[in-house]
Amino acid sequence: MTTRAGPPLEPLLRRVTETPPDFLDEPRAGAAGRIHVDAVVGDLCERLGVALQPGALDVFAGQDPARDRNRLAVTLLQAHLLADGWFAGAGLDAARLLSLLEAGAAELAAHTQAPRFVTDPDRREELVRHLLARLGMHPAGESAAHAQDRLTTLSAAERARVLAASRAAQERAREVREALTRKAAQEAADKWTRE
For residue 183, being part of any structural domain is answered with no
Residue 176 is assigned to a structural domain of this protein: no
CA atoms within 13 A on the CB side of 157: 12
Range of the domain at 8: 4-154
Which residue did the predictor score with more confidence, 159 or 58?
Answer: 58
- As a whole number of angstroms, the distance between CA 23 and CA 130 comes to 19
Of residues 160 and 93, more confidently modeled: 93
Domain annotation covers residue 195? no
The reported pLDDT for the residue numbered 173 is 76
Across the range 87-113, mean pLDDT stands at 92
Residue 20: left (phi > 0), alpha (psi -120 to 50), or beta? beta
pLDDT grade, residue 188 (50/70/90)?
Answer: confident
Task: Give a yes or no: residue 169 inside a domain.
Answer: no
Task: State residue 12's pLDDT score.
Answer: 96
Whether 179 is covered by a domain: the verdict is no
118-119-123 Cα angle (round to 5)? 70
Domain count for the chain: 1
Asked whether residue 23 is domain-assigned, the answer is: yes
Residue 44 falls inside a structural domain: yes
- Measured from the Cβ of residue 24, the count of other Cβ atoms closer than 10 Å reads 16
Q: Tens of pLDDT along 52-92?
A: 888 889 989 888 888 899 999 999 999 999 999 999 888 89
pLDDT at res. 174: 73
On whether residue 186 sits in a domain, the answer given is: no
- Give whole-number Cα distances, 62 to 35, 47, 54, 117, 119, in Å: 11, 22, 17, 20, 25
Residue 193: pLDDT over 80: no
Q: Report CA dihedral (178, 184, 186, 192) to the nearest 10 degrees.
A: -150
